[in-house]
Amino acid sequence: MANRVLVTGGAGFIGSHVADRFVAEGWDVTILDDLSSGREENIPAAARFVRGDITTPEAAALVRDGKFDVMCHLAAQIDVRRSVLDPVYDATRNILGTLNLMEAVKASGHVTRTIFSSTGGALYGDFDPPPSAETLSKDPEAPYGIAKLSVEYYLAYYGRVHGLDTVALRYGNVYGPRQDPHGEAGVVAIFCNRVLDGRALTVFGDGRQTRDYVYAGDVAGANFAAATRDLPPRGRLDARAFNIGTGIETSVNTLAETLRDVSGATAPIDYAPARAGELARSALNTAKAREVLAWQPTVSLADGLKRTYEFFAVRRARVNA
């Protein structure tokens, strides 16, 4: 019998890539998603789809009774700006929703490993120079990052007190096909659509601010590695946490110029006033993931941007046909 995985948020941008990878590896895949931001068209044909909200008793019952071997938990409120405007909503989705599922995992007696999608740049803040290692101090600026860090503390608690097998993957700025313009790396989707519209690329500030852009397919590979590799013992907060990125700082200027190169576009770059509270620099030290998970990114920025741009171009052509 095939191993069984539940992917929460599996109709979303990153979650659907994770679901694709497990399907490709021959796993039995179930997706739980409320479609508040995900799209049903993203769901692999081979996966079972359950429409539901992670904060509900029904979602808890699915986890408790579904006999899943692994849960990849990606369902979340993903907009940093919304977390600032409505931190109560953010905490309800990202903290209480996760606790609802974790209590179900505890009651199930079956789920052998839970993999939580956390965040890299939003967790470490802007106080130490990158690349950030997992053990660096955590200084999130927004409720979104605070909620992700809170969940990591809860996962450590469930590991120590209840013996649950938990992992946190701290993503860099994930981009790729199916991306929407929300979340930390939404700039890639925004830029692709602006190129297709023949509009200028808007860069806030001087464009020198850096991020660690990691391709969605590589992130999916990290989830599969985290589900299948032997891991270090449970213990302190960072023991089961892994940075998932490239370790490369890429400026917004470089991002825009690379996209223009791979798309063949001549879109101008317009500069707008810097946005308050934006990190100046961000990149992740991924040595631990390479050593323990035997994982490393395989898709270069130029190749990833080309694949992403082509996805949006094909989707635009299909809509306009």
Which residues are designated catalytic?
A: 144
SS3 content of the chain, % helix, strand, coil (to 5): 45, 15, 40
Please answer whether residues 26 and 46 qualify as being in contact, where contact means their C-beta atoms are separated by less than 8 angstroms. no
Three state DSSP letters for 98-163: HHHHHHHHHHHCCCCEEEEEEECHHHHCCCCCCCECCCCCCCCCCHHHHHHHHHHHHHHHHHHHHC
**In degrees rounded to 5, what are phi and psi of residue 205?**
75, -155
Q: Do residues 56 and 27 touch, judged by C-beta distance below 8 A?
A: no
Q: Can you tell me the distance from the alpha carbon of 98 to that of 101, in angstroms, rounded to the nearest whole number?
A: 5
How far apart, in Å, are the Cα atoms of 246 and each of 81, 120, 145, 171? 25, 12, 20, 10
No. of helices (H) and no. of strands (E), the chain:
12, 13
Selection from 108, 135, 139, 112 nearest residue 123 by Cα: 139
Residue 87, Cβ density class (10 Å: 0-12 exposed, 13-18 middle, ≥19 buried): middle
| Structural element, H or E, at residue 50 | strand 48-51
Determine which helix (DSSP H) or strand (DSSP E) holds 244, and give its type and residue range. Answer: strand 241-244
Among 231, 36, 241, CA closest to 118: 241
